[in-house]
Amino acid sequence: MPTIAWIGALRVVIYPNDHRPAHVHVIGNGCEAVFELHDAGEAVRLRENYRFKRKEIARIKKALMKILPALWTAWKDIHGIE
Query: What's the pLDDT at 81?
Result: 76
Question: How many folded domains does the chain comprise?
Answer: 1
Contact indicator for 33, 60 with CB cutoff of 8 Å = yes
- Could you tell me which residues come within 8 angstroms of residue 11 by beta carbon, excluding any fewer than 6 positions away? 3, 26, 27, 28
Which residues contact residue 59 at a Cβ distance below 8 angstroms, ignoring those fewer than 6 apart?
7
Which pTM was predicted?
A: 0.93
- Is 40's pLDDT higher than 80? no
pLDDT recorded at residue 82: 60
Identify the domain containing residue 51 by its residue range.
3-79
> Does residue 9 carry a pLDDT above 90?
yes
Helices then strands, each counted (H, E), the chain: 2, 5
Higher pLDDT, 10 or 39: 10
CA nearest 43: which of 5, 16, 70?
70
